[in-house]
Structure 1
Amino acid sequence: MNKKIVGIIGGIVVIAAGIALYTSANNKSSDSNTNTSSSSSSKVTGKVLSLGSTALQPLAEQVASSFQDKNPGVTVTVQGGGSGAGLSQVSDGSAQIGNSDVFAEEKEGVDASKLVDHKVAVVGIAPVVNSDVQISSLTKTQLRDIFTGKITNWKDVGGKDEKIVVINRATGSGTRAVFEKNILDGQNAVQATEQDSNGTVQKIVKTTPGAISYLAFAYLDSDGIKALNLSGVHPNKANVEDNSWPIWAYEHMYTKGTPTGATKAFLKYFTTKEVQKTIVPKLGYIGLTDMKVTRDSSGKVSDK
Structure 2
Amino acid sequence: MKKRFIAVFTLLLVFAMIAAGCGTTNSNDNGGSSTSSKQEEKNGNNNKEDAVTGSITAVGSSALQPLVEAAAQQFSSENPGATINVQGGGSGTGLSKISEGAVDIGNSDIFAEEKEGIPAEKLVDHKVAVVGMGPVVHPDVGVEGLTKEQLIDIFTGKVKNWKELGGADQEIVVINRAKGSGTRTTFEQFGLDGAVPIEAQEQDSSGTVRKIVSETPGAISYLAFSYFDDSIVALAIDGKEPNQVNVETNDWKIWAYQHMYTNGEPMGLTKAFIDYILSDEVQTSLVTELDYLPVTGMQIERDANGEVTKK
**TM-score normalised per structure 1:** 0.87
Could you say which residue in structure 1 is the equivalent of 2:279?
272
Question: Matches of 1:47 and 1:279 in 2, distance apart?
Answer: 22
Q: Distance in 2 between matches of 1:299 and 1:61?
A: 28
- Aligned to 1:269, the other structure's residue is in SS state helix
Question: How does 1:1-304 map onto structure 2 within 5 Å?
Answer: 36-42=43-49, 43-223=51-231, 225-304=232-311
Post-superposition Cα deviations, 1:48-99, rounded to whole Å, max 9, x if no partner, equal 1011000001110000011111111110011100000000011111110000
The number of residue pairs the alignment matches comes to: 275
Using the TM superposition, give the Cα deviation of residue 41 of structure 1 relative to its aligned residue in structure 2, in angstroms: 2.2
Measured in 2, the distance between the counterparts of 1:152 and 1:83 equals: 30
1:260 corresponds to which letter in structure 2?
Answer: M
Secondary structure at the residue paired with 2:142? coil
Distance between the aligned counterparts of 2:154 and 2:298, measured in 1? 30
Q: Is the 8 A contact 2:191 2:253 kept in 1?
A: no
- CA–CA distance in structure 2, aligned partners of residues 204 and 165 of structure 1: 10
Q: 1:145 aligns to what SS in structure 2?
A: helix
Equivalent residue for 2:10? none
Q: TM-score, normalised by structure 2?
A: 0.85
Q: Distance in 1 between matches of 2:233 and 2:155?
A: 17
SS at match of 2:127: strand
- The answer to whether the 8 Å contact 2:140/2:168 transfers is no
- Aligned to 1:302, the other structure's residue is in SS state strand
Name the amino acid aligned to 2:278: T
The whole-number CA distance in structure 2 between the counterparts of 1:61 and 1:222 is: 22
Secondary structure of 2:256 counterpart: strand
- Structure 2, unaligned stretches of length 5 or more? 1-34
1:289 CA displacement? 1.1
Q: Could you say what secondary structure the match of 2:68 adopts? A: helix
Give the deviation of 1:184 after TM superposition: 2.4
Structure whose alpha-carbon radius of gyration is higher: 2
Q: Give, as a single letter, the amino acid of the residue that structure 1 aligns with 2:87.
A: Q
